[in-house]
Amino acid sequence: MANYDIERLHGKMLDILTAIDKVCREHNLRYYIIAGTMLGAVRHKGFIPWDDDADICMPHKDYDILIKHCREWLPERYEMICAENDSHYPQPFAKIQDAETTMIEHAHLRYVGGVYVDVFPVDGMPDNRLRQRLRVNKYKWLCKLLYFTYRDPYRHGHGPSSWLPLLCRRLFTVNGLQRSIRRHLMKYDFDTSRHVLCFDDGFRSIVTKDVYGSPTPYTFEGRTLMGVEKSDELLTKMYGDYMTPPPEGTEFQHNFYYLDLDKPYREIKS
């Protein structure tokens, strides 16, 4: 298990989630807590005790509106970072981060930011199962190319392990791959599709749109956040018997490369 103060980390993430909720309510944007954050709301009424990240998703139209207005709508200490506003950003989804903290997830990705909440777009899918699988697999392939194009090619030395990242850098650019991923995600509109998916959760998480439904209030650490309307259906599909915690010793944590909850990341970056 990680050796940082997870309760303080939870507090920072909860403040970000609360700010997101306030902005989305004020500007009529739909958002849903998702994945482990949704599971935590149902099973623990808050964070899963060992969970060290938080996730929301938004229909892509709402996601784009928040990106466009994030600097004017979010409190000053919070920043929404994504490929649309940072050409060096290495992920295919956005984060809202606390600029008064510092977090480096992985040294080999060379990206310095703050404690964050992941913000995923949720998009439409075709109804045909084969086409669904092909779309998910293409997304995974594009993300893998993005990873190899961005990361330090010499992470494992200057031998054969560096050849694939170096080849990707010759064939692709980070910005070009980000544009390809965006076009791929937006091929099917959330509001006009019967099936929808938060792509980062993979094929198992394809559901009919009514599972998301209208953003529905859930108690989370004594506050109210919005989640999916049919949480049991989504969580069962994602996790199976989701009300039973995993065996002790198998809990997942990120084990961040560097974390400072009191120092602005720009001081580290400079």
Give per-residue pLDDT as tens, 66-77: 999 999 999 999
Task: Report pLDDT for 2.
Answer: 65
What is the pLDDT averaged over residues 223-243? 94
DSSP bridge pairs for 94: 119
Question: What secondary structure does DSSP assign to 208-230, as a single string?
Answer: EHHHH-S-EEEEETTEEEEE-TT
pLDDT-derived band at 108 (thresholds 50, 70, 90) equals low
Percentage of the chain modeled with pLDDT above 90? 68
Beta pairing class for 94-98 and 116-125: antiparallel
Q: What is the pLDDT of residue 1?
A: 55
Tokens of 4: 């940082």
Q: At residue 43, what is the residue type? A: R
Q: If you ran DSSP here, which 8-state letter would residue 248 be given? A: T
Distance CA 117, CA 255 (A): 16
CA 150 to each of CA 19, 143, 176: distance values in angstroms, whole numbers, following the listed order: 30, 10, 12
For residue 55, give the nearest of 243, 254, 207 by alpha carbon.
254
Per-residue pLDDT, 75: 95
What does the pLDDT read at residue 269? Answer: 67
With the CA atoms of 44, 34, 67 and 216 taken in that order, what torsion angle do they form, in degrees rounded to the nearest 10?
-80
Domain borders along the chain are 6-257
Per-residue pLDDT, averaged over 116-125, amounts to 96
Question: Residue 163 above 70 pLDDT?
Answer: yes
Distance from C-alpha of 42 to C-alpha of 39, rounded to nearest angstrom:
5
